[in-house]
Structure 1
């Protein structure tokens, strides 16, 4: 059954060809400038595609007005305002005239003069198509006010300082268009329920889309002397702006690109957006995610070439992702039992819980009760990445005559203190082994209580208030839904933090991670994306679930055991190992400091011969 659409009025013969040509112009613009986005639009119901072309073409056009190198910032802002004023004038000229789409394109009751009319500026086909879309689908043009406000700020040339500022501007420019797409579906009779979890996931997803565009198009921006990344991103990796503008591929620039691709990967994966939505919409969202993550992988593999050319998807990759998606989308739209159009209930996302500690400026780590301070270790001597196997919770509880679950509860307090200590010390990466795939062999009641402790720790305001970016490594299979949601939401909420990156390995298995990477390489080879003879360590690492998690410099295991237990096998290849007998509930940050202290005394050669004093090479 096809969507039930507004009934078209009789077309105006003088204007119908002009409007149809306007939509065709939008289609060509989107297809030539944003081929991936165009492919996603083709997964929408056919009747909605012209409106999608018009909206996206309008977004591209208005963005180009403020990005144009000609003229001062004030002149670029004036050009944007003139475009907006002309759109409002055209809409006001027809008042409440609303007609519907027909086979030749959306509404025909043309109100715009074509080229050669009284006003030469009225010849803009993108604006004509957008105005027709607004009339046809009864859209409120005031919804676009945040878009134009953010674009005027772009025209000033002022770069965002922080990731938070960057995200707010990105969402202002993109969220209204996304919400209009939902309104289109509702107007067409597609059941569209916007849940709270959708509103929570959408900002991160849009950030991921925009960030992917930003670094895949980096070469063209650098060619115009433009940088749109927040200054915080460059500062975090010590990248001078001049190096990027000069296209110098230095170790800090390489680290910056690695960090950007890692962020984009995290932000794009928002499965909550696909829950409870129409099957056709789920296909569209899943395919969008797959396409943009493929662009991330392409950018990652380009390396230094990314500063000189755009990261384009190969035809084989696009075909592999899009061909089955088109079939699934067609079937989904045909099978669905669609309802009559109803007044849409679409709520624009409000600013996210600003009272939540995760959305306030981070607080410094809490001092240790003893008053002892972290040792002053130069940054160049610190391990970049410390991995910890937190062992001994159950044994500690047994020694105290307590249930094993009580050991996990007390162990969570030790975890908090170690995180505070890592921040005090200045570590950049800390990975904690919280639950392995082998831990399912434990008593079911103990596992259930452990998961509840994890959930409560994630929601704890103490952890959320720190300058900690939380990430999750592991599989959702078998985990409680509320724990999976808490892990993903904590990652979303903390994505703007730039201090310590804390990775929690929950339901994690190192061998499974390697199998997943091998499967990804096999799929890429089968699709013609890579030559099997050219697979090397770098390519395998790029296909790991978290490819830019740094190698572990120091592995610390508590509890008296001396094995790595399937923990980060790829990343532990050259790790320094440190084993202690202390059970995890008895650990505090000072144990972490001592472990790092032993690391600084070791000489890491990575296979090179030791240098003997007094000799020459």
Structure 2
């Protein structure tokens, strides 16, 4: 996240200040004076750094405002430390690192002598925020002191993701308060584009300040589309190429922030905040468009009239929406012994190794060049395992959960990087309702209480949200966010997944990108297609293993498993454990993979020369 320091502290919402002050005072009634002062400092910091953000926070329920001030003030402080020009790169990186490490210690202690961290610690404990999700964002802020270069839009978007954890914390606040900012499950892409649009708007607004520091935070792909524009901008020349580039990017940002479908079915108060944010960003983009050459000298700002036209009706809608929604602010809480804190050190201390095999079995030693990177498993035979024992089919799925845990343990022990499990297909809805319900309930319970939560496992989900229970989808997304910084095994669980459906959705997204002009239809490559899959960074499957004595791939990962080695075993899924995974990997290590090339000829057995007629 990049803050926007102002030379003026003009308050965009001065008119209703008395009403806001009363609400804020009530929100903090009973708190100690130091804490109240800390939150007030956070409010002032937010208002100075970004009046638009401050105005949006004032549209939130009063009980949430102090927490939002604390979050945004912390982000602003980190940005300031990264941007300070009185120190070199190494010193600025060290300052950001020192601040984040101090936050770790303060979270463990439950208080801080630094007022911004004091407010943030109170917010985290009071609202049950898991600040470990901010680790990537804080690391990105530390790295922002270096000159950033993005080869294409994909690299740029990866950098933009540093803002997402801060926004997700605000969404968590709404959920905790009882007015969830729930996004339509089929609009997750809209949410991502909205964040991208916010970042691009911020970059265009701060172009002059960034150029002063030698920064041009735009992807090379965009710059190359307008020859000469990059040099002109770096030299502060407002040329036709530079003007065309800025006009194109402004239009793109306006398109990205205009996502009306994103707020459908959302609480009207939360929807009002997001819709007002979009209106403010469009007004900011209008100011960028109107600035012309002045864009290279100073940051453009919308007029007071334009801001008032947006904020005045938004405040009325906000007051009405929240007056009809009873919300309460939780009391202060003590720090937990294992409080979640950002930073590698804190994350590592919360993790544990997988439990040993019950018989003491150890993984085989596989040479690195013979080790698969990605193993995908079709976990088949749960129902037949139960029927064989005279049990209801759903009992087999419960037993299969333990086998899934075993696969994770075995993958960690042998050093596998990627494991993908086929848990529930789009065709499985045809099964008995009780069986389906049991499967989905077991998944939900395992996400909350399962033994892999504290392992070095990055959890991901692939599949469609349609038909899945809302609480299961939210739990899956929560675990993705919570474990996104882990560096051990990447575990992808396919739930309500179909391979053809995945390819169809990727093709639709690619067609939409082509229609929007993001890709040229006649130049589309396999890499372009792969970038529109749900997990573009998922490597190809090296080994696809199916249990249950069936020999078919059942619509599982057709794009990724094109060249996979196939491995079929007769045992039903509940009967397997980590040793079976190790056996599958061992067999894989003995195979010769050619990917269409001619087989290598062993030097020990030279080919027989063809006979010649005498």
Question: What range describes the TM-score normalised by the shorter chain of this pair?
Answer: 0.5 to 0.7
Q: Counterparts of 2:115 and 2:575 in 1: how far apart (Å)?
A: 48
- 8 Å contact kept, 1:27–1:54: no
How far apart, in 1, do the equivalents of 2:55 and 2:253 lie? 13
Indicate the residue corresponding to 1:568 in structure 2. Answer: 557
- 2:420 aligned partner: 431
How big is each residue's C-alpha offset from its partner over 1:342-380, in whole Å with a ceiling of 9 and x where there is no partner? 998377897677279998532222222222211011233
- 1:223 maps to 2:126: no
Summarize deviations over 1:364-407 as a string: whole Å, max 9, x none. Answer: 22222222211011233211111000000001111111110111
Aligned equivalents of 1:319, 1:484: Cα separation in 2: 30
Counterparts in 2 of 1:369 and 1:276: CA distance versus 1, 3 Å: closer
Asked whether the 8 Å contact 1:383–1:596 carries over to 2, the reply is yes
Change (3 A) 1:296 1:467: farther
* 1:66 to partner: Cα distance: 5.9
Question: Residue in 1 aligned with 2:255?
Answer: 320
Corresponding residue SS for 1:434: strand
**Count of aligned positions:** 463
What is the match of residue 516 of structure 2?
A: 527
- Please report how far the alpha carbon of residue 221 of structure 1 lies from its aligned counterpart in structure 2 after TM superposition: 3.6
The alignment status of 1:345 with 2:329, answered yes or no, reads yes
Matches within 5 A, 1:218-257: 221-223=145-147
The corresponding residue for 2:194 is 291
- 1:209–1:292 Cα contact (<8 Å) kept: no
Contact 1:73/1:155 (CA < 8 Å) preserved in 2? no
1:279–1:483 Cα change, 3 Å: closer
CA deviation after TM superposition for structure 1 residue 416, in Å? 1.4
Quick one: distance in 1 between partners of 2:448 and 2:178? 31
Scaled by the length of structure 1, what TM-score is found?
0.59
1:41-61 Cα shifts (integer Å, max 9, x gaps): 78677999xx99999799657
Is this contact kept in 2: 1:430–1:501, CA < 8 A?
yes
Deviation at 1:537, TM superposition (A): 1.3
* 1:599 and 2:569 correspond: no
Q: In 2, distance between residues paired with 1:434 and 1:487?
A: 13
Match of 1:494 in 2: 483
In the alignment, the residues of structure 2 paired with residue 373 and residue 400 of structure 1 have an alpha-carbon distance, to the nearest angstrom, of: 30
Shift in Å at residue 412 of structure 1?
A: 1.1
Q: Within 2, Cα distance between the matches of 1:289 and 1:352?
A: 33
**Once the two structures are superposed, what CA deviation does each residue of 1:189-222 show, in whole Å capped at 9, x if it has no partner?**
xxxxx999x94567477556556x659xx6x643
Residue equivalent to 1:580: 569
- Structure 2: gaps (5+ residues): 1-12, 22-45, 201-214, 223-248, 261-271, 277-309, 341-345, 608-614
CA positional deviation for 1:440 = 0.6
Partner of residue 557, structure 1 = 546
**Which residue in 2 is equivalent to 1:445?**
434
Cα distance in 2 for residues equivalent to 1:59 and 1:423: 35
1:452 is displaced (CA, Å) by 2.1
| 1:589 maps to 2:578 | yes
CA contact (8 A) 1:316 1:529 kept: no
Give the drift of 1:544: 1.3
Residues 358, 464 of structure 1: 8 Å contact kept: no
From 501, 519, 526, the counterpart of 1:512 = 501
**CA contact under 8 A between 1:359 and 1:493: conserved in structure 2?**
no
Name the CA distance, whole Å, in 2 between partners of 1:214 and 1:276: 27
Deviations 1:555-607, CA, capped at 9 Å, x for gaps: 10111111111211211121111111111011111111111011111122222
2:84 to 65, 68, 85: 68
Tell me the distance in 1 between the aligned counterparts of 2:484 and 2:76. 27
Classify 1:350/1:598 alpha carbon distance in 2 versus 1 (closer, same or farther; 3 Å): farther
Q: 1:538 to 1:334 in 2, by over 3 A?
A: farther
SS at 2:490's partner residue? strand
What's the CA shift for 1:328? 4.0
Aligned to 1:142: none
- Aligned-residue CA RMSD in angstroms? 5.7
Corresponding residue SS for 2:452: helix
Q: Is the partner of 1:464 in helix, strand or coil?
A: coil
Whole-Å separation in 1 of the counterparts to 2:322 and 2:160: 41
| Normalised TM-score (structure 2) | 0.60
Tell whether the 8 Å contact from 1:435 to 1:506 is kept in structure 2 after alignment.
yes
Q: Deviations over 1:71-105 (max 9, x none)?
A: 5899x8xxxxxxxxxxxxxxxxxxxxxxxxxxxxx
The answer to whether residue 95 in structure 2 is matched with residue 155 in structure 1 is: yes
For residues 447 and 327 of structure 2, the distance between their equivalents in structure 1, rounded to whole angstroms, comes to 39
- Contact 1:295-1:311 within 8 A present in 2 as well: no
Equivalent residue of 2:362, what SS? coil
Equivalent residue, structure 1, for 2:18: 6
Give the 3 Å change call, closer, same or farther, for CA 589–167 of structure 1 in structure 2: farther
Contact 2:513/2:519 (<8 A) preserved = yes
Equivalent-residue separation in structure 2 for 1:372 and 1:566 (angstroms): 34
CA distance in 2, matches of 1:265, 1:8: 28
The answer to whether the Cα contact below 8 Å between 1:405 and 1:449 also exists between their aligned partners in 2 is yes
Over residues 114-149 of structure 1, what are the superposed CA-to-partner deviations in whole Å (9 max), with x where a residue is unaligned?
Answer: xxxxxxxxxxxxxxxxxxxxxxxxxxxxxxxxxxxx
* Matched residue, 1:14: none
